[in-house]
């Protein structure tokens, strides 16, 4: 029997305080990474994994995101008249990627609260949560493996990455044990933003999750946790601790990931993606070498 389709939920309603003042009037998910807003990479990644129904959770400054995925007839006409087919193709791409829906999160009460806003749209199918400021390089596979693992186990599946001790306090962190499958771990517990001393491992949750709707019932009664926010990690901890449920599994990602909500990572993302591009790399590479040599 074919598997029921998976929808994607992209939370993009955070305040983006680390990027102020750039995010004063614009969501951080709209910051350009080379020549596309960060969130477009995430939508492309979902489409690449075969997902064609996407719900974006938006906050204040909502229009920037919805406008981006809408068609802009005047602009399209202008490019057509000028015969600029390459730019026209790229403009059309952003509105043709998937069926994109929007729902508001009235107040940014945390990632768990943002995900709960997707309950009505998701219904009773499984869904992927993809953070709108977290980019996975398209050359490195992750989401398809997570979806397969979810279908195999029926469990919640999270993406994990080894991070240095100095960064561990910025993440949800898993205590986990290996399974018979390479790169897949069984998660025994999760803790949101622990201190380095309290962290159960160096495996941090990165912004991809594949979940079943059971998580909504838990989120509905999840109290505010770290930072006074309703944390998705706390709801997942409950799933991991339930001896009668399918539990939580982690896919350990070893590829390229860029957290564009962090200024240093954002700059690294632009540099790495730009130097690898055929249209920009040849000009940039010698310039970077020269620049680095004089640092």
Kindly list the residues in this chain that would bind ligand UTP in the complex (CB under 6 A): 11-18, 57, 105, 108-111, 113-114, 131-133, 261
Nearer to ligand UTP by Cβ, of 101 and 109: the residue is 109
Closest approach of Cβ 60 to ligand UTP, in Å? 11
CB of 190 to ligand UTP, least distance (A): 16
Q: Where are the alpha helices (DSSP H) in the chain?
A: 38-48, 62-68, 73-82, 85-96, 111-116, 119-122, 143-153, 214-220, 232-241, 263-275, 281-293
Output 129 or 184, the one with its CB closest to ligand UTP.
Answer: 129
Nearest residue to ligand UTP by CB is 14
Q: How far is the CB of 107 from ligand UTP (least distance, A)?
A: 7
How far is Cα 98 from Cα 182, in angstroms, rounded to an integer? 32
User: Between 2 and 228, whose beta carbon lies closer to ligand UTP?
Assistant: 228
Structure tokens at 98: 């998937």
Beta partners for 158? 209, 250
Comparison of 132 and 225: residue with beta carbon closer to ligand UTP: 132
As to burial, measured by CB atoms within 10 angstroms (0-12 exposed, 13-18 middle, 19+ buried), residue 50 is: exposed
Closer to ligand UTP by Cβ: residue 15 or 252: 15
Q: Closest separation between CB of residue 285 and ligand UTP, Å?
A: 31
Q: What burial letters (b/e) apply to 157-189, b meaning 16+ CB within 10 Å?
A: bbbbbebeeeebeebbbbebeeeeeeebbbbee
Q: How far is the CB of 10 from ligand UTP (least distance, A)?
A: 8
d(CA 120, CA 112): 15
């Amino acid at each position: 029997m074919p598997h029921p389709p998976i929808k994607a939920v992209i939370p993009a309603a955070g305040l983006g305080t680390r990027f102020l003042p750039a995010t004063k009037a614009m969501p951080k998910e709209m910051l350009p990474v080379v020549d596309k807003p960060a969130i477009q990479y995430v939508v492309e990644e979902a489409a690449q994994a075969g997902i064609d129904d996407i719900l974006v959770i938006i906050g204040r400054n909502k229009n920037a995101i919805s406008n981006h995925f809408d068609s802009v007839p005047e602009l399209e006409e202008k490019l057509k008249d000028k015969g600029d087919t390459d730019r026209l193709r790229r403009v059309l791409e952003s509105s043709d990627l998937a069926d994109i829906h929007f729902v508001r999160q009235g107040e940014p009460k945390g990632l768990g609260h943002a995900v709960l806003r997707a309950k009505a749209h998701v219904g009773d199918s499984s869904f992927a949560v993809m953070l709108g400021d977290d980019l996975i390089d398209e050359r490195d596979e992750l989401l398809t493996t997570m979806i397969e693992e979810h279908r195999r186990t029926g469990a919640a599946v999270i993406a994990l990455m080894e991070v240095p001790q100095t960064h561990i306090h910025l993440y949800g962190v898993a205590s986990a044990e290996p399974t018979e499958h390479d790169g897949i771990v069984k998660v025994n517990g999760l803790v949101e933003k622990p201190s380095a001393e309290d962290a159960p491992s160096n495996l941090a949750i990165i912004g991809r999750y594949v979940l079943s709707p059971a998580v909504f019932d838990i989120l509905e009664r999840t109290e505010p946790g770290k930072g006074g926010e309703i944390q998705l990690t706390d709801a997942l901890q409950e799933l991991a601790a339930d001896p009668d449920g399918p539990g939580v599994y982690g896919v350990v990602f070893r590829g390229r990931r860029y957290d564009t909500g962090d200024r240093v990572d954002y700059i690294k993302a632009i540099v790495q993606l730009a130097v690898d591009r055929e249209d920009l790399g040849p000009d940039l590479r010698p310039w970077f070498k020269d620049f680095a040599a004089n640092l």
